Structure 1
């Protein structure tokens, strides 16, 4: 059974990490469960926002389970563990629903990279962020040197990845990586998520596409999705499809 659960609370869905014995570190099973959950959430119109949380109060996520990848052959490690993790985390980042991470405990390595896939983050005052991969002889592999640079900036990422320093909630807030610091991040995240219920789901989705296009998050797909959304309701599209089905030349009106 996967230690990752999808729970629905009305219009808010929750993705909950549940591997406290390993400080919610990602196993291969948890990674595999995440991708179909994203597909399910994408197609569920009743879900307006997604909260990502964790069971353990000590750690939001300690990263990737070392036992899950340490015995892999070098090429399998690079081709599958790293690339699969990248693809799956990218899928979370590109959800059309707004996402909020409730960082109730330390977010290290892959756990920090997972939190970075969300739209905004709420953090416990005692939690810290870190990229400790060098201490076990590897480098960040799930966008720690890529997406995090955009969100936290080069100096803070270098502090963590090169010098092993932990970043406090206060510094994360000052850097704009965290939206707020709360004693109960999960409750605060749900309060934010529930505010989405009173807004237009279509407007929220398009706004997210536009922001991602500007930020370089899957820019090509976002631009083409916006273009498709503009062209889809036109009379010309309807005429073009009808002409194809009727095997005739289309008569476009420019509308």
Structure 2
């Protein structure tokens, strides 16, 4: 039975797409399961990093199951399927923990967009990347023309999306899309994730937010979150809360 599995050990959470019979493509249920796992991981302070991967060695993720969206009416397809997937990938991109995609196999369509939503990527040498949507009469809908276009050169994205070509691991490495090419991508990704355990989790979280704000990845929310965190540690905030509870006029120290 297909699903998305979560395993937490040694401060690292692994989220694994488990639908190998269909090259780990997404079903409606799998989108919902992954959303629940991300919510759980966000709240677990012992989790320092997250590895996203796929079951088996043929595919990381081949995208979305055509049987899940092929017969949807246009409005439902756009409103629920496309926007729902987009919200999930945005949630992954903005997770407070550092994320690593272990591309154990091919990443096509939504699978490539899933990899792009992670912070860094490790890729098996035989894996390939592709945006095959035009071949089935649709367009990339889960940030392939947006977030992915910020991570790869324009010509490379167009080569995949407009001409249907696949990109191999060596070229993805040369473009900077992947951090490492490794025969065992999962093991390499877990080794990188394990290195995060010795770093300050708060410093890592805030640094990630700052980088995303600079890249306009939900910059408005990032700026307000960082500002709110700074003011929350101030004596003025403590005085304001105390005065409200005591029903008196606050005397802000301003330091």
Partner of 2:93: 93
2:209 aligned with 1:200, yes or no?
A: no
Partner of 1:157: 157
Distance in 1 between residues matched to 2:56 and 2:220, nearest whole Å: 38
Partner of 1:42: 42
Distance in 2 between residues matched to 1:240 and 1:6, nearest whole Å: 41
Partner of 2:253: 253
Large movers: runs of 4+ above 3 Å = none
Partner of 1:181: 181
Distance in 2 between residues matched to 1:34 and 1:212, nearest whole Å: 22
TM-score (norm 2): 0.98
Task: Describe the superposition over 1:152-197 as per-residue Cα deviations: whole angstroms up to 9, x where unpaired.
Answer: 1211110000000101111111111100000000000000000001
Unaligned 5+ segments in structure 2 are none
Partner of 1:221: 221
Distance in 2 between residues matched to 1:127 and 1:35, nearest whole Å: 26
Q: What's the secondary structure of 1:230's corresponding residue?
A: helix
Partner of 2:55: 55
1:237–1:108 Cα change, 3 Å? same
Partner of 1:168: 168
Q: What's the secondary structure of 1:46's corresponding residue?
A: coil
Q: Aligned residue pairs: how many?
A: 255
Contact 1:2 1:33 in 2 (8 A): no
Distance in 1 between residues matched to 2:42 and 2:170, nearest whole Å: 33
Task: Describe the superposition over 1:27-85 as per-residue Cα deviations: whole angstroms up to 9, x where unpaired.
Answer: 00000111111111111000000001111211110000000000111100000000000
Q: What's the Cα RMSD here?
A: 0.8
The offset of 1:254, in angstroms, is: 0.2
Task: Describe the superposition over 1:7-42 as per-residue Cα deviations: whole angstroms up to 9, x where unpaired.
Answer: 012200100010001000000000011111111111
Q: What's the secondary structure of 2:101's corresponding residue?
A: strand
Q: What's the secondary structure of 2:5's corresponding residue?
A: strand
